[in-house]
Amino acid sequence: MRPVIKAAWPQEKGSLKSYKPYTKANNDLEANLGSYCSYCEVFSSDLEIEHVISQDQDDTLAHDWDNFLLACGKCNGKGGKSNKPVDFTTMHFPHLIQHLSVVFL
């Protein structure tokens, strides 16, 4: 898993762009992250929008740009993770690995 640099929430007409339904984020995410799974880095033309915190756990984040990554079907469906709590202090996410940019400066 390589770090990815997630763009700030895109704007539209001076406010945060709406991603309802969340599938509207697909083009913006691919423009930002490329056509690669954010987890296993596989190149794919069939990526899914991954909710870092699943809709089952917090549906207020279902349309939140900052909660999106791209994932292949295999990574997105892994292990029924939608029911597992996300602990940012013990879990690693490709868009939250920021210290590496300091190490390599």
Which residues are at the interface with Zn ion (CB under 5 A)?
Answer: 37, 39-40, 72, 75
Comparison of 9 and 26: residue with beta carbon closer to Zn ion: 26
Comparison of 37 and 53: residue with beta carbon closer to Zn ion: 37
Nearest distance from C-beta of residue 72 to Zn ion, angstroms: 4
Comparison of 39 and 65: residue with beta carbon closer to Zn ion: 39
Nearest distance from C-beta of residue 15 to Zn ion, angstroms: 32
- CB < 8 Å & 24+ apart, contacts of 92-101: 92/1, 93/52, 93/69, 94/1, 94/2, 94/3, 94/4, 94/38, 94/39, 94/69, 95/3, 95/4, 95/5, 95/6, 95/38, 95/69, 97/3, 98/3, 100/3, 101/3
